[in-house]
Amino acid sequence: MLDKRFIRENPQAVKDAVAAKGIDLDVDELLQLDRDNRKLQFEVDEAQARRKSFAKQFAGADAARRAELRAEHEAFDRQLKDLREQLARTGGRLSELMLLVPGIPWSGAPVGADESANVVLRTVGEPPEFDFTPLDHTALAEKRGWAEFARARRVAGERAYALVGDMVMLERAVHSYALDLLRGLDFTPVSVPALVREEPLVGTGMLPKAREEIYAIPADDLYLAGTAEVALVGLHAGEILDVGRLPIRYAGISPCFRREIGSASRDVRGLLRVHQFEKVEQFVLCAADEAESARWHAELLATAERILSDLGLCYEVVECATGDMGVGKFRMNDINTWFPSLGRFRETHSCSTLHDWQARRANLRYRDTDGTVRFAHTLNNTAVATPRLLAALLENFQTADGEVRVPKVLRPYLGGRELI
Ligand SMILES: Nc1ncnc2c1ncn2[C@@H]1O[C@H](COS(=O)(=O)NC(=O)[C@@H](N)CO)[C@@H](O)[C@H]1O
């Protein structure tokens, strides 16, 4: 959400963002609704003031005059009721459109309709060379009995999987390593609900836009969140935080659920695109200062790069285009990791700066040193998301006889084993 005053004063900037992000929103309709809404609000306020004067006139009037005043009063009340109904309709429509307004993308974002316009900023490490024909992660996991696909699908339908044996231990090792690393950076681990109400989904920007991607549980008016980011944004919603508590840094952990309607035919095999997965999420809530947000964006990105470098994986950092970054983003960098079976890089991390776009929706505020109450800035990035990252580890570190070399940083979590 943007500030209405900003939209009134910068209509072209908002229209440019709408076009660059491919949003279906008529900014002129919104501005007209805003004018109508303010005019109606003024008329209602004025009418209510006039209504108060009736009581005084009534008190000093004789019987005949009172009868006249009563008739006027009834006509007047009908008119006020009608005004209030118009105001409610206009206000409701305006609130709907305000939720569609995109965040203004930063000037360095490539302008383009989708990820094909993304620009690779740097590639780090080298794709592994094999002196044998490497297996893809699905074949390797099945060969080693590390995953159940067919049986899991009998239980949970398409894209379901079960991790078995050492794959479970590897997943926990990856998460524990990421959590320990984040704790060392003063991020507080928080295990958050994946069962959430509608408000934090609206606050994060997942609703109204991506409703068809979210599992809903209408019997309880609940939803399954696709990322811990939702609960982390919602955690302090409605509070006014003391500026001394900022920046709030959370390492959020939760299962993540996604219907993947938009990708129905893609990655239907294996562990790359599933309906339920586990993620450690980097989340920052900081003061409303662009330099502060830029600093945290760089830190969150560097931490994800450090994780991939520590794991020994080859990756590229990408500047996301306006049409790929999503409605609320100011800036988004993806990190794509090398997958030998694909012979290309696939996204494993996504780092975003949102300035106060989420905070306005979620009512996330803080009291500044001068006493001013401001909307905060929020940022997020993946630390690790499994099983997609496990698939990368299996494929990149497999040996000719189907074992997997354990990255040094994970060995302490796997009883010191160098091979699984
Ligand atoms: N359907 C899925 N199956 C497996 N992994 C997924 C799926 N969707 C996303 N991921 C993993 O989760 C990471 C983050 O997802 S994201 O939507 O890009 N971004 C977020 O959720 C942000 N909150 C940052 O984590 C992705 O980079 C990918 O590694």
The predicted complex's ipTM stands at 0.99
Nearest Cα residue to atom 29 of ligand 1: 348
In a domain, 106, yes or no: no
Judge whether 95 is annotated as a binding position.
no
The string of pLDDT tens digits covering residues 329-349 is: 999 999 999 999 999 999 999
- What pLDDT shows up at residue 320? 98
Does the beta carbon of 135 sit less than 6 angstroms from any atom of ligand 1? no
Name the band, by pLDDT with cuts 50, 70 and 90, for residue 43.
very high
- Does 274 lie in the same domain as 391? yes
In a domain, 376, yes or no: yes
- Does 46 lie in the same domain as 127? no
Name the band, by pLDDT with cuts 50, 70 and 90, for residue 292.
very high
Report the pLDDT averaged over residues 354-369.
97
The string of pLDDT tens digits covering residues 377-409 is: 999 999 999 999 999 999 999 999 999 999 999
- What pLDDT shows up at residue 186? 98
- What pLDDT shows up at residue 380? 98
- Given a cut of 80, whether residue 55 has pLDDT beyond it is no
Give the distance (Å) from ligand 1 centre to CA of residue 349.
Answer: 7
Report the C-alpha dihedral over residues 387, 388, 390, 393, rounded to 10 degrees: 180
Give the distance (Å) from ligand 1 centre to CA of residue 175.
Answer: 15
- Does 206 lie in the same domain as 304? yes
Nearest Cα residue to atom 2 of ligand 1: 273
pTM equals: 0.95
Judge whether 275 is annotated as a binding position.
yes
Q: Percent of the chain having pLDDT more than 70? A: 100
- Given a cut of 80, whether residue 229 has pLDDT beyond it is yes
- Does 322 lie in the same domain as 220? yes
- Given a cut of 90, whether residue 71 has pLDDT beyond it is no
Mean pLDDT score of the chain, rounded to an integer?
Answer: 96
- Does 178 lie in the same domain as 315? yes
CA distance 163 to 22: 39
- Does 285 lie in the same domain as 151? yes
- Does 348 lie in the same domain as 222? yes
Nearest Cα residue to atom 23 of ligand 1: 229
Report the pLDDT averaged over residues 236-242.
97
Atom number, ligand 1, closest to the C-alpha of residue 347: 27
Give the distance (Å) from ligand 1 centre to CA of residue 87.
Answer: 41
Report the CATH number at residue 86.
1.10.287.40
| Mutational test site, ligand 1, from 350, 353, 379, 386, max ligand atoms within 8 Å of CB | 350
Distances (CA, A) of 52 to 41, 42, 43, 55, 77: 17, 16, 14, 6, 12
- What pLDDT shows up at residue 75? 85
- Does 77 lie in the same domain as 123? no
In a domain, 418, yes or no: no
At 365, which helix (H) or strand (E)? Answer: strand 365-367
Domain C-terminal end among 42, 65, 100: 100
- Does 309 lie in the same domain as 269? yes
Domain total of the chain? 2
- Does 197 lie in the same domain as 145? yes
Nearest Cα residue to atom 12 of ligand 1: 385
Judge whether 276 is annotated as a binding position.
yes
Residue predicted with more confidence, 59 or 284: 284
From 52-61, 158-167, 186-195, 344-353, the region with the lowest mean pLDDT: 52-61
From 67-81, 114-128, 170-184, 394-408, the region with the lowest mean pLDDT: 67-81
- What pLDDT shows up at residue 246? 98
- Does 198 lie in the same domain as 79? no
- Given a cut of 80, whether residue 253 has pLDDT beyond it is yes
> How many CB atoms are located within 10 Å of the residue 413 CB?
18
Report the CATH number at residue 361.
3.30.930.10
Judge whether 258 is annotated as a binding position.
yes
- Given a cut of 90, whether residue 324 has pLDDT beyond it is yes
Atom number, ligand 1, closest to the C-alpha of residue 335: 27
Judge whether 58 is annotated as a binding position.
no
Give the distance (Å) from ligand 1 centre to CA of residue 333.
Answer: 13
Report the pLDDT averaged over residues 235-262.
97
Does the beta carbon of 382 sit less than 6 angstroms from any atom of ligand 1? yes
Distances (CA, A) of 247 to 33, 123, 303: 37, 30, 16
Domain C-terminal end among 100, 128, 161: 100
Does the beta carbon of 274 sit less than 6 angstroms from any atom of ligand 1? yes
Give the distance (Å) from ligand 1 centre to CA of residue 12.
Answer: 33
DSSP label at 106? P
3 state DSSP class of 180: helix
Atom number, ligand 1, closest to the C-alpha of residue 277: 4
Distances (CA, A) of 252 to 2, 178, 244, 260: 26, 11, 21, 22
Nearest Cα residue to atom 11 of ligand 1: 385
DSSP per position, 303-364: HHHHHHHHHT--EEEEEPPHHHH-TT-SEEEEEEEEETTTTEEEEEEEEEE-TTHHHHHHT-
Q: Where in the sequence is the domain holding 79, given as residue range(s)?
A: 4-100
- Does 145 lie in the same domain as 87? no
In a domain, 73, yes or no: yes
In a domain, 60, yes or no: yes
24 φ, ψ (degrees, to nearest 5): -90, 80
In a domain, 108, yes or no: no
- Given a cut of 80, whether residue 90 has pLDDT beyond it is yes
Domain C-terminal end among 60, 75, 100: 100
- What pLDDT shows up at residue 255? 98
Nearest Cα residue to atom 8 of ligand 1: 273
Which residues does 18 contact at the CB level (< 8 Å), separation at least 6? 25, 27, 101, 102
Q: Which residues are catalytic?
A: 258, 273, 347, 350, 388
| Mutational test site, ligand 1, from 182, 224, 227, max ligand atoms within 8 Å of CB | 227
In a domain, 105, yes or no: no
- Given a cut of 90, whether residue 48 has pLDDT beyond it is no
Give the distance (Å) from ligand 1 centre to CA of residue 350.
Answer: 7
Name the band, by pLDDT with cuts 50, 70 and 90, for residue 176.
very high
Name the band, by pLDDT with cuts 50, 70 and 90, for residue 53.
confident
- What pLDDT shows up at residue 224? 98
In a domain, 107, yes or no: no
- Given a cut of 90, whether residue 61 has pLDDT beyond it is no
